[in-house]
Amino acid sequence: MSDVLMPRATAVWLLDNTTLTFAQIAKFCGLHHLEVKGIADGDVAENMRGVDPIAGGILSREEIARGEEDGAYELKVEQSRIDHIPQPKRKGSRYTPVIRRADKPDAVAWFIRNHPEVSDAQVIKLIGTTKATINNVRDKSHWNATNIKPVDPVTLGLCSQIELDEVIAKAADKRRKMDAEKAARSEGPGLAPAQDTPAPFVPEPAEAYKKNISADDVFRDFE
């Protein structure tokens, strides 16, 4: 199980900036290799902003170099250097500067598209939005729906990267279950092996009955 907090965004960055194989990236990010291939082909996580694992302290350049030299090498997550930093506890709702408040629907759209496993309550607490705004963005009834574009809340200045990672980490187990269910639905039921399929019934030709039955056999029951 991967310790990467933003696996898809990290996979996007690794695909764009390294020569690691799909299998190596999938293993490191905790994704299916077909999902990584889909990201590379543009079918999955389209327009998602890549997250630099080196800047995030979860992967070193030396570790990437080892992986690029050996396609069978499994990348190892660096020990976090920020786990010991205590985060201040906030009381009440988050205050957002007026200039940033118009960006909240963009952040909500980003959560809906990229992290549906994060609950509405978590989004409300993290960026200081409302349930009504989330519902309006989700069903596209927001007054500014045509101009809303998914942008991560860190880029918008609505929260810190550490706060975002913490929220996503708490919802990681739920995301893994959702991805597993999605993969199971996409694969569908398999075909039964050929040896398990009963052979079709082939009736014996009528000529065979004529050759094997005599007049004595026909009238035996009347004696």
- CB burial of residue 168 (10 Å; 0-12, 13-18, 19+): buried
Q: Above 60 in pLDDT, residue 159?
A: yes
Confidence at residue 101, expressed as pLDDT on a 0 to 100 scale: 63
Q: Which of 198, 151, 163, 196 is nearest to 49 (CA)?
A: 151
Which among 155, 165, 103, 150 has a CA at the least distance from the CA of 129?
103
Region at 125 (left for phi over 0; alpha for psi -120 to 50; beta for the rest): alpha
pLDDT of residue 108: 93
pLDDT at 109: 93
Q: Which tens digit of pLDDT belongs to each residue from 7-47?
A: 888 999 999 899 999 999 999 998 898 989 888 888 887 77
pLDDT digits (tens, 9 = 90+) for 48-86: 888 888 888 888 999 999 999 998 999 988 865 544 455
User: What are the CA-CA distances from residue 78 to residues 106, 143, 153, 208 (Å)?
Assistant: 32, 44, 25, 79
Does the model's pTM come out above 0.85?
A: no
The gap between the terminal CA atoms of the chain, to the nearest Å, is 82
Cβ neighbours of 50 (radius 10 Å): 18
Of the listed ranges 42-51, 61-70, 134-143, 205-214, the one predicted with least confidence = 205-214
Sequence spans of domains, the chain: 1-84, 86-187
In whole angstroms, give the CA distance from residue 156 to residue 170.
22
Q: Are 159 and 166 in contact (CB under 8 A)?
A: no
Residue 49, number of CB atoms within 10 A of its CB: 16
